Structure 1
Amino acid sequence: MAATKTILVIGTYDTKDQELHYVADSIRRMGGQVLSMDVSVLGDPSNPTDVSKHQVAAAAGKSIGDVINAGDENLAMQIMAAGASRITAQLYAERKIDGLIGLGGTMGTDLVLDCCQALPLGVPKYVVSTVSFSPLIPTDRLSPDIQMILWAGGLYGLNSVCRSSLSQAAGAVLGAAMAVEQPRRNRPVVGMTSLGSSCLKYMKYLREPLEERGFEVAVFHATGMGGMAFEALARQDYFAVALDLALPEVGNLMVGSVAHAGKDRLTNAGLAGVPQIVAPGCTDLIDFAGWQAIPDAYADRPFHAHNRLIVSSALSGDERRALIRDIAERLSKATAPVKFLMPLHGVEEWDREGQAAHDPDGLAAMADEVRKAVAAPVDLRELDCHINDAAFAQEVLAIIDAWVADGTIRMAA
């Protein structure tokens, strides 16, 4: 029998007292324990919580009076979010909680997202929200392993409709806390970005050789959420080396596509002192959500409908130059070695001769701008191959071998 798990239940008990108690009671009925946190500002819960709103405000260096006198509900809740996330991190560090569940509308959700980000990968995080999966929530607010459920019928008051969501969430977070296999970190981790193998194939050449060298390999799908997860773990110094070889999210951010991974993409590994091998994989294309019309500015360009979720259009030569300058600026802040690999024969499968995105002039413009923009401390290597050729992967492995030999890559997990 697994040890009893304790779930942190977070919410505004002045407005959602019944709902929060229902979730807590559901967890207890299933054999779990509960630690409750009130993040209200004006009202009080029907019964005292384990962590009071006064303790939450104090953790942010304020009193509830200060929060009320902030004079703005947004600022007030940001103060409470700061306090709540600090307490959440402390409770986990003290091994007092095994998972988190938070309830809310936009206010509560905004706060709970910060609490979720205060917990590391592998700690169950469940958000029951009236705006779950909404475009109101930017990708950079989401934790790598966050779980959400839409709080149907849950705006005001407990009812049979919202009990369905709440009971599922209670069971899910307790079950996750009981079942989760925490990351062991017993091998150095390679974080690699890519797209599906129909577009980028280097992971097929790299994974097994890296594992044979003693690494664990985690590949992140660079379509927005994957890049966000990659950055979150890089920020935690989780990787021994970052192979950031697919960068369409940076271009997507540049042109305003929703398929981006936040403004800090391609910065966190460098700031954390993680050595990086970087390549402009798929930076010739922009990804749009399949449910959106392609903007008029891209309507006459090469176009690829990958599926009903994602469609791609090509960048012009000037846009590729601007993107390379942006990438170079992000990498210039790195505090550890960076190798930038420029495959001169292409950066994704569909830019080969005869394919829809073949544009030798655009590729030449990209390579020219790489030569101009990528400068020390970043080390540029031009490769006489395509990014999907085995020669590209061999260059990556050669760099890794050299970094292991000179101690740049820490092999101790």
Structure 2
Amino acid sequence: MKKVVVLGALDTKGLEFQFVRDQLEACGAAAFVIDTGVLGEPLFPPDITADEVARAGGSSIEQLRQLNDRGTAIAVMTRGAAEIIIGLERQGMVGGVFGMGGTAGTTVAASALQALPIGIPKLLVSTVASGNTRPYVGVKDITMMYSVVDIAGLNRLSRRILSNAAHALAGMVLNMVDEVEDDKVTLGITMFGVTTPCATRVREILEEQGYDLLVFHATGTGGLAMEELIKAGYIKGVADITTTELADELVGGVFSAGPNRLEAAGAVGIPQVVSVGALDMVNFGAPDTVPIQFKERTFYQHNPTTTLMRTTVDENRELGRRLALKLSDATGPTIVVFPKKGVSLLDMDDKPFSGTEERQALYEGMKQHLRSDIRLVELETHINDTVVAESIAGYLLELLTQKKEG
């Protein structure tokens, strides 16, 4: 029987975890408790002890207590919790996972949650859930709930919040819809607000041909998620329309997907059609978050919390070079589609980021470094023209057919 794994420090937060366990079981969800506490004995007996977790992380509770170093203890329990949860998942007993804590407890629990496959319900009540949650969520489907008050005892407010969390997780676990098995091939598409018309039309065309489409918002985590699913074998082809995350990585924007973006599809050899969507911009938060060194640049206020900055000629030349070098390492069929009249809704005639010189630099940087056998399709229109969408979809269908027949 699958169970809800309750993971956390039963020495300092035993009362709260006991409450959550009881709430889960009152809902009909069987609980399985893992103790990650280091400082003292658990308030109630767990199913897996803190010493078992510590040993899975390469130490022991005795050693950690003797060392008395908080950083080392967190690192060991973080590794151990992930190892334990992976083992339980392989046994087929993980129906969902509940974590809770401050910065330390959140770190330990998040590591375990991130180790699980997408689709298993994951809920984390945390004191830091109202801030930057990217380090804890990563590219997994983790639900974070802000605790509002510190997790330090039970009171009228904390009981309500923890009860809500337990009932939410129980609902996810007990009402999980069985995955529908079909023979559809899954493809990935990258999209941004300023490339939505193109991405939407590509998706429609591919769906009409019987493919299952996963659309990723190119906000850093979106690109990372797609690359992870490619490496895991879920995605069999890519219409990488929106490669804007490369610009944030180069210039220092908030939507970077790291230095390895645009490499997974090429590494595993799946068909990919790549374009240059939204490489005209770097993303920042509200205006007062833009670094001072960029104060003389061209900006567009997308919304109150999103400030877009136009990429320069030099930056575009480097972006073209980087994109070309990454694609030149591809082991699978690759086609690049370059819309010469604009790469986003803002990069068109009479629009705020219109830039003929910037696009030319992007093209030259790409053309100079792209492997000679990779096809570069030049279209005399902007990226959101229907012609571009139909070309991208058509080329990807062509590559997928060749792959299947080959």
How does the TM-score come out when normalised to structure 2? Answer: 0.90
1:280 deviates by: 1.4
Tell me if the contact between 1:200 and 1:281 (Cα under 8 Å) persists in the aligned partners: no
Aligned equivalent of 2:389: 393
Aligned equivalent of 2:308: 312
Aligned equivalent of 1:97: 94
Aligned mates of 1:343, 1:70 — CA distance in 2: 60
Aligned equivalent of 1:145: 141
Tell me if 1:238 matches 2:273.
Answer: no
Q: How does 1:43-54 map to 2 (within 5 A)?
A: 43-54=40-51
1:102 deviates by: 0.3
Deviates more, 1:39-48 or 1:267-276: 267-276
Q: How does 1:144-223 map to 2 (within 5 A)?
A: 144-181=140-177, 183-184=179-180, 186=182, 187-196=184-193, 198-223=194-219
Tell me if 1:82 matches 2:47.
Answer: no
Aligned equivalent of 1:73: 70
Give secondary structure in 2 for the equivalent of 1:247. coil
Counterpart AA for 2:104: M
Counterpart AA for 1:58: R
Aligned mates of 1:70, 1:268 — CA distance in 2: 41
Give secondary structure in 1 for the equivalent of 2:241. strand
Tell me if the contact between 2:2 and 2:92 (Cα under 8 Å) persists in the aligned partners: no
Aligned equivalent of 1:285: 281
Tell me if 1:127 matches 2:133.
Answer: no
Aligned residues: 405
Counterpart AA for 1:47: F
Give secondary structure in 2 for the equivalent of 1:326. helix
1:376 deviates by: 6.1
Aligned mates of 1:270, 1:36 — CA distance in 2: 42
1:145 deviates by: 1.7
Task: Describe the shift of the 1:391–1:302 C-alpha distance in structure 2 as closer, same or farther (beyond 3 A).
Answer: same
Counterpart AA for 1:36: V
Query: Which runs of 5 or more structure 1 residues have no equivalent in the other structure?
Result: none
Give secondary structure in 2 for the equivalent of 1:253. helix
Tell me if 1:114 matches 2:111.
Answer: yes
How does the TM-score come out when normalised to structure 1? Answer: 0.89
Tell me if the contact between 2:192 and 2:218 (Cα under 8 Å) persists in the aligned partners: yes
Task: Describe the shift of the 1:56–1:222 C-alpha distance in structure 2 as closer, same or farther (beyond 3 A).
Answer: same
Give secondary structure in 2 for the equivalent of 1:239. coil
C-alpha RMSD over aligned residues: 2.6
Tell me if the contact between 1:237 and 1:274 (Cα under 8 Å) persists in the aligned partners: no
**Aligned residues with identical type, % of pairs:** 32
Aligned equivalent of 2:246: 250
1:122 deviates by: 1.4
1:258 deviates by: 2.3
Query: Which runs of 5 or more structure 2 residues have no equivalent in the other structure?
Result: none
Give secondary structure in 2 for the equivalent of 1:311. strand
In the TM superposition, what whole-angstrom CA distance separates every residue of 1:270-322 from its partner, at most 9, and x where no partner exists? 34443322211001111111364433443343322222232211011111222
Aligned mates of 2:405, 2:106 — CA distance in 1: 39
Give secondary structure in 1 for the equivalent of 2:297. coil
Aligned mates of 1:263, 1:22 — CA distance in 2: 43
